Structure formats: C-alpha cells, structure tokens
C-alpha cells in the first residue's frame, strides 16, 4: 500500500523531479502543464501550500514502500462538502495498483478527516487505466466534456456510501 503525505515545503525538490521525469508520460493523456509551470515551480509550490493552509485544497504526495515519491493526489476546490479529485502516478510505478490504493485512501481521508460528502473527478477517454481506477473506487460517470481539446469523462462519488474501509 502506498503512503500518502500532506504536501510540505520539503517535498518541492522531489515533486519537481517527479513532474519533469514524467512530463511526456503525463502529456499522453492530459494537457501538458507548459514550460512556465517548471520555470515558476518554486512560486507554484508555495502557492499550493498557501491554498492548503487556507483549507481550500488538500494536496498529497504518494510514496512507495521505499519512500520514493511516485505520485501525487489532490483534492481541490473544497466547497459545500465536495471537492475535485486529481492524481498522477509515475510511469515507472504505473500498473501496480498504486493509483487504485491511493484513491481509496484519499476517499477515506476525504470522508473522515476532511469532512467531505462527495467527490468529482475527470479523465480523458484515452486513459482507460484512470477510468478503471475511478470505477474500482466507486465513482460513476456523470457526463462527458472536453479537457483542453481532449474528449473526457466526468465522474462522481458520494462518500457516505458503504466501502470506506
């Protein structure tokens, strides 16, 4: 099982290295963050920490059994008992159930520690692995839309449902 840690200032270097190493991998299924994201990363990281301190978002890193940063998973726009879930797993760690386990753990945290009642998520149609992660974790498709220029699906999960182990 992966370990989730709330985002901290000392995660900055590992998180930037993770994003750089996996940029092309992520761009295969989600819109690229662009060069400015990497050039302005210290300021962006500080802004995320400020949002987290304000309680509007909950950012986490995903660590493998050896303590290496292999992903990130976030809850953004915490409003009226809901939030949007997003996650990224390193190419080197993909296909091992890390995303499924991390989403399950974050759903549990969302309900028990953060007091949320529902989550939404989205994934592109060309990312069947992410679709499977969401489905395995009790999310249901609620519609389709364009994510950037890519066809995508929107998902929803009520957190009061049975299964928050």
pLDDT level of residue 33 (50, 70, 90 thresholds): confident
> What pLDDT is stored for residue 20 in this prediction?
94
Q: Is residue 165 part of a domain?
A: no
Structural domain of 130: 3-158
pLDDT band at 157 (very low <50, low <70, confident <90, very high): very high
pTM, rounded to two decimals = 0.90
Please report, for the domain that includes residue 13, its CATH number.
3.40.630.30
Examine residue 19 and state whether it is found in any structural domain, yes or no. Answer: yes
- Does the pLDDT at position 165 exceed 80? no
Instruction: Examine the pLDDT at 26 and tell me if it is beyond 60.
Output: yes
Judge whether 12 lies within some domain.
yes
Residue-wise pLDDT tens digits, 40-72? 999 999 999 999 999 999 999 999 989 999 999
- The tally of domains found in the chain comes to 1
Does the residue 163 lie in any domain?
no
Compute the average pLDDT of residues 131-150: 94
Note every long-range contact of 11-20, with CB atoms under 8 Å and residues 24 or more positions apart, other chains counting. Answer: 11/45, 11/61, 11/69, 12/41, 12/42, 12/45, 14/61, 14/69, 15/45, 15/61, 15/69, 15/72, 16/41, 16/45, 17/69, 18/69, 18/70, 18/71, 18/72, 18/90
What pLDDT is recorded for position 162?
A: 45
Residue 80 lies in a domain: yes
Residue range 114-119: mean pLDDT, rounded? 96
Tokens of 151: 């066809």
């Amino acid at each position: 099982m992966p370990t989730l840690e709330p985002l901290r200032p000392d995660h900055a270097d590992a998180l930037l290295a993770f994003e750089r190493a996996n940029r092309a991998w992520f761009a295969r299924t989600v819109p690229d963050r662009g060069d400015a994201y990497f050039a302005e990363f210290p300021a962006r990281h500080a802004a995320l920490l400020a949002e987290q301190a304000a309680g509007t978002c909950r950012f986490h890193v995903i660590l493998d059994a050896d303590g290496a940063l292999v992903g990130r998973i976030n809850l953004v726009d915490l409003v009226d008992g809901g939030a949007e879930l997003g996650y990224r797993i390193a190419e080197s760690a993909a296909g091992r159930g890390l995303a499924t386990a991390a989403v399950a753990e974050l759903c549990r945290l969302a309900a028990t520690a953060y007091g949320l009642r529902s989550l939404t998520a989205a994934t592109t149609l060309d990312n069947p692995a992410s679709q499977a992660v969401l489905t395995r974790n009790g999310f249901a498709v609620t519609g389709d839309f364009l994510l950037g220029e890519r066809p995508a699906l929107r998902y929803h999960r009520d957190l009061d449902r049975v299964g928050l182990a």
